[in-house]
Structure 1
Amino acid sequence: MVRNRHEASPSAFSRRLHTSTKSSSSYCPHSLDSYCKNSNNRYMSVIFSIFVVNRIAHTFYNINMRKILLFILSLTTTSLYAKTSCDTTWFTGEGTQYGGIAGTNGGNCGIFVDEGDFYHCAMNHEQYDGSMTCGACVHVIGPIGEIDLKIVDRCPECKHGDIDLSTDAFTKIAKLEDGRVPIKWCFIPCRKSGGIRVKYEPGMSQFYFKMAIYDHLYAIDMLEYQKKDGSWEEIKRTDYNYFVENAGIDEDKSKIGPYTFRITASTGESVIIKDVEYKEGEEVETGVQFSLTECDANNTAAKNIPSQKEDFLPPFQIFSIDGKYIGEYETMDDIPSLSKTIIIRSKTSGIKYILQ
């Protein structure tokens, strides 16, 4: 399937990411409410979280519990999530497959996908919504399996609810020979270990602004820049996922940047990134990221318990709860006993846990 990044028709900034009929009979990874209310489990939260994963991934195995307290990202650490809107909507449609864009940025969203990374998909034209869902992640369930994918492309001919998966991703949820299968899916936060990244496009100047945003937990709803008087001005978004102002945004035309941006997520949360220097053609790590919503914080801890043992492999990186790097260790037994809560991260998979 050949896609033209510029062929999508312009779309109003409608912010209608999740308008669809909910499936009340299905469990969405965003919320554990149905299990919390119906479960008779009398064990501690660690055991309960493993039970939930078994219901989601149909997999159960023993995890080394010497130190790990998988306490749903520590329910007492409320700073890990923002009290923003939770979306538990399920969508239904048809899943198809195409070659994907691994090793390129050739999708409509302009997002580069690493060579060999087939965990991506193309959203149907309506829900692509003029690039509003670019960079967001979805949990897709098919006839024989389920998978998490990032939206990096648009499927012009797909109807509302449909998703076009990379071929390798499709084989995780259906038989390749089936070609077109029924699916259900919902939006989920992407797995990210760092901050939001921004990239100024080559050729940008104080007279022409063009920037892309990558590596965000949730879909981007709006980008604004701060003017000298302290007010905020929205930057127009193109249907190929760039933010563009043809006259530039520099009030002082003698220089380019730095800029202060306010980025709003589909959850309603806004983050401010201050004094971002202009670096032509480079991706800039901002150090700022959206917070998990409360329901997603609970779910992410549960879903990130490895569904296979190889998901959580050494070396292990240790950080303090405020993100300060402590050290790297080859085995769990090498990790020193610490009196305070820490974070352990598998360097291989990027999966993180709270340890106490």
Structure 2
Amino acid sequence: MSARFWSSLLLPVVLLGVAIATFLVTEPLSLLGVSPPPIEQLTVERTVLDEEGIDLKVRATGSEPMHIAQVLVDGAYWRFTQEPAGALGRGTSAWIHLPYPWVEDELHEITFITNTGATFDHTIEVAEATPQASAAQFIGYGLLGLYVGVLPVALGILFRPALQQSGPRGFEFALALTLGLLVFLLVDTLEEGLELGDQAASIFQGHALVWLAALVAFVALMAVGRRHREPPRGLALASYLALGIGLHNLGEGLAIGGSFAAGSAALGTFLVIGFTLHNLTEGIGIAAPLTRERVRWVAWIGLIALAGLPAVLGTWIGAYAYAPHWSALLLGIGAGAILQVMIEVGDFLRRTSIASGGAMISVASISGFTAGIVIMYATAYFVQV
């Protein structure tokens, strides 16, 4: 690259930096008699309850560094320690430790007061002890993820012999059913991601984070999938299906791990059973593009791992390192992956229907698409609380 190229590229950036620095130093707003007060915002990202009291991870997202001066618990001022100590700059986080004798199954109201007098409220709906980390617990969370992600996907793939004997119309039905379940997964993943985006600190722009992550993931996967100008089929298409489903299962693992970490063991058990039933259909979807292919057992293991093991990772993240903005980002990526697979499955269904002398919009395809949505909606009944 020539010096002229680099100078034309860097000069506007340098001049912009100079203009911003000049604005900050000269404070031209003072000529208007305007002296805007600092904006303070505080978000609680994680709550841990143990025998020593209550620990809360907070993140500041204001315009200026802020100091937490006092903390009220259930209407009473309470002593606290902050780590790291000092002012919280924009986007920084800290742990607040309250040696408060919380009461199991009770509601507790916490209010943070800054040195400027601004207040921020946080509610612990039902106080439950947070499970302590241990090797046995780590293995237990992993087993939960295997039960939720790997087992149902593997069982769903066992429907493949039935799909192979169903004939051309049955094949179209299976592909359309896969398309229907993907539509449900896309809506479900976006809803979960946007919900977590609402919980994230405003600095992360939760909703935009989800949509932009979905867009980038979709474009990237489409570019990879069509890099040879041929749409993926067979094992390649099944692999993309497994990837999209795996990213969705990552979100389910986050929900389960987070519920157990919050002390909601009953809710976690309910979610495990519900997600296991819910995910059985996902294995059928992965097997559908392979009903006319010869696939080695190693490939089957790879597909099951790709679709199911992210649930294990999600369970660990939800239990030990949960953060709403990271979870929203991961679910946004999952939504983009699912959208890419939807397009590829729809295109595969179209080509298959034309090759068999039929139409993409047929009784078999409409029935399969409807069945996929209905089955996913019905099994979701067990995971909605």
TM range (shorter): under 0.3
Which has the larger strand fraction?
1
TM-score, L = length of structure 1: 0.22
Higher relative contact order (CA 8 A, sep 6+): 2
TM-score, L = length of structure 2: 0.21
Which has the larger helix fraction?
2
Highest CA radius of gyration, 1 or 2?
2
